[in-house]
Amino acid sequence: MTDTIERATTAGAGSSASSEQLVDSAALAEVLFARWADARKHSRELLKREEFHQIPGLGMAEHRARVLGQLRRLVEEGAVHRAFPKGLGGEEDPGGNIAGFEELVIGDPSMQIKTGVQWGLFGAAVLHLGTQRAHEQFLPSIMSLAIPGVFAMTETGHGSDVAGIGTTATFDPGSDEFVIDTPFRAAWKDYLGNAADDGQAAVVFAQLIVDGVNHGVHAFYVPIRDGKHFLPGVGGEDDGLKGGLNGIDNGRLHFTGVRIPRTNLLNRYGDVDENGVYSSPIASPGRRFFTMVGTLVQGRVSLDGASTVASKLALTIAIRYASERRQFAAAGGGGDEVVLLDYQRHQRRLLPRLATTYAMSFAHEQLLEKFHAVFSGEHDSDEDRQDLETLAASLKPFSTWSALETIQEAREACGGAGFLTENRFTQLHADLDIYTTFEGDNNILLQLVAKRLLTDYGRRLVKPDAAAIAAYASQQAGQAVSRSGLRALGQRIADFGSTARSVGNVRGADAQRQLLTDRVETMIAAIAGNLKNAGSLPASDAAALFNANQNELIEAAYAHAELLEWEAFSDRLATIEHPGNKQVLTWLRDLFGFTLIEKHLAWYLINGRLSATRASAITDYIDDRLLPRLRPHALALTDAFQFAPEHLRAPIATGAERERQDEARAYYAAQRANGTAAVEEKALAKGVAPASS
């Protein structure tokens, strides 16, 4: 079978026969849809309908009204309640809920995010932070959209630092109420979906103060409007026109002496009784805070998935266009112009991003499985929740940044056509831009990941067993060899200057894994060494030392995210049974792995992990072997994403370019056939007579 695959691959660029022999797009689609295929397909069917489509150029007010109407239709279609209790009409399927939700980005990212505000943030806060009394009192009207709501966590002066917010909720024992206040301008709640127009109530995060004691951040259900008018003590502003997502009515809220019943405290993790006594099942204030915030991790999970869907959409449009658009005559003249995707540079621009998107898809399914296990109660220990939070904080930065890079490259790869709004790229990029900083700024999330990696590294060195000691000793020895240059020297000797040998020594999955893993572990070990004395320093000096290593921490965490993506691709690859799909996905996984290594070649060379010969061989292998092998299968790999024309809604990917090219080719073919083609001026010197003679 391998010989057949190799022959088919080298038969010629763009060979449809090669693609048919190897890739079964329908089978691959089922792999990509994964466990919650039904939820995804249900959303895809809805999104074929025009009523769920974004209208380019729509004014802000009209766009907001359209999106609110779309949410009402989603309620009618039963598309948004999967996560809620069965007793209230839900399905208690957290994984299926996220899978169906993230597909909504295909219709309109504003619709997707406003849906997330209503049911994934506002409703989920009541669900996960409230007890039965809150569920019964508030959830039915949230689920039905009778009460559009606001998730009021972020403040103008505090974004990622939620623990430092300034809004207060002070208990008044005389009236058995909480009094909500924003004591200064920086404490205004800001960037809140549904706050400018539609929101009737909000889940407000505030410092809970009882009898002069601050018990930290808690969540409160606070009515804010009666129809279109703010209730007494509540005020706000419209955030106005944004860089994208203008179908969402983002705004600001502030509170002055707003009173709510004591029972409006969402009290799963902290409560105040009728006697004004505070209690919590979690004694540690710090652990209590992180537990409460951790229940809202689904926002990061869904952004990871939506970014993956958007990347698939952009690449499908760009690769279809590149497979049809022709530019410049073939060498030797005559015949057809060359298809864009047959140019190596075009392959370099799009195929590595296709590989990255497959990695993102497989990694997201692992994240979704972990999320479902925790929130369904299948595996819901403290360790499980910490692992979920770390995984989400790793993958969300990778996917949101990658999506923006992919959309931009896809746009440029389509030239002027890509800049037309009708072909989706510019609006997708504008709408997804904010994904990198909401639900946690990517750099802050990666810092959290790095701290977890440092913690895990430290645990390995506390009372280590023999295996841990051996691994640490081996690592130290390996670093010493690398620093001395002996490793690179040994590689040069082993390779004898041969490119084939150089590639052979790094081509396999084990070699890729070792290189990617080594980079993460070496970076973490170096940072741990730099910070080893931090515990004995005064607090200000320890903070300064940590700050001096902050950039390295974030770089290490991102390297860890890259490793997770590669591991997820490899794990899924091991389950593929279809031989053609397995072979093509192996090449695609290798392209992803080698592209990551190539991206960081400076690090591998400086640290002696690769010789210059092997480093150069990696680039040669990408250009000379992997890209030509994958080129014939690019369309089939995007066909596996299963986007219908109604999903793409880009003329250059749904027939317009093909019609133009077919018309032009038929025109010139007819001229050649009937002898009416004009002769090029330079051909006259060779004695070729004009057609008119």
Domain range list for the chain? 151-290
| pLDDT above 70 (res 20) | no
| pLDDT above 50 (res 642) | yes
- Are 274 and 262 contacting, i.e. CB atoms less than 8 angstroms apart? yes
Q: Given this model, what pLDDT does residue 507 score?
A: 78
| pLDDT above 70 (res 196) | yes
| pLDDT above 90 (res 370) | yes
Weakest mean pLDDT among 260-264, 291-295, 437-441 = 291-295
| pLDDT above 70 (res 61) | yes
Weakest mean pLDDT among 257-266, 556-565, 604-613 = 604-613
| pLDDT above 50 (res 443) | yes
Per-residue confidence at 330, pLDDT binned at 50, 70, 90?
confident
Q: Given this model, what pLDDT does residue 295 score?
A: 81
Q: Which of 118, 112, 114, 15 is nearest to 313 (CA)?
A: 112
DSSP three-state, residue 64: helix
| pLDDT above 90 (res 555) | yes
State the average pLDDT over residues 130-151.
Answer: 97
- Rounded to whole angstroms, the Cα distance separating 160 from 440 reads 6
Distances (CA, A) of 188 to 166, 171, 246, 299: 8, 20, 21, 22
Q: Given this model, what pLDDT does residue 467 score?
A: 52
Buried b (16+ CB within 10 A) or exposed e, 51-83: ebbbeeebebeebbbbbbebbeebbeeebbbbb
Rounded to 5 degrees, what are φ and ψ at 14?
A: 75, 10
**Which one of 323-337, 453-467, 513-527 scores highest in mean pLDDT?**
513-527
- Rounded to whole angstroms, the Cα distance separating 284 from 63 reads 45
Q: Given this model, what pLDDT does residue 651 score?
A: 95
Cβ-based neighbours of 332, under 8 Å, separated by 6 or more: none
Weakest mean pLDDT among 306-315, 343-352, 401-410, 448-457 = 448-457
DSSP assignment of 437-495: TTTS-HHHHHHHHHHHHHHHHHHHTSS--HHHHHHHHHHHHHHHHHHHTHHHHHHHHHH
| pLDDT above 70 (res 332) | no
In CATH, the architecture of 151-290 is: Beta Barrel (2.40)
DSSP assignment of 295-351: TTTHHHHHHHHHHHHHHHHHHHHHHHHHHH-EEEEPTTSSSPEEEGGGSHHHHHHHH
Q: Given this model, what pLDDT does residue 2 score?
A: 34
Mean confidence (pLDDT) of the chain: 89
Per-residue confidence at 311, pLDDT binned at 50, 70, 90?
very high
Q: Given this model, what pLDDT does residue 504 score?
A: 62
Q: Return the residue matching tokens 């430092």.
A: 164
Per-residue confidence at 669, pLDDT binned at 50, 70, 90?
confident
- Are 191 and 201 contacting, i.e. CB atoms less than 8 angstroms apart? no
Per-residue confidence at 6, pLDDT binned at 50, 70, 90?
very low
DSSP assignment of 530-587: HHTTGGGS-HHHHHHHHHHTHHHHHHHHHHHHHHHHHHHHHHHHTT---HHHHHHHHH
| pLDDT above 80 (res 22) | yes
- Are 23 and 580 contacting, i.e. CB atoms less than 8 angstroms apart? yes
pLDDT tens readout for residues 79-125:
999 999 999 999 999 999 999 999 999 999 999 999 999 999 999 99
Q: Return the residue matching tokens 């869904």.
A: 302
Q: Which of 162, 116, 156 is nearest to 254 (CA)?
A: 156
Per-residue confidence at 678, pLDDT binned at 50, 70, 90?
confident
- Which one-letter amino acid corresponds to residue 493? I
Q: Given this model, what pLDDT does residue 691 score?
A: 64
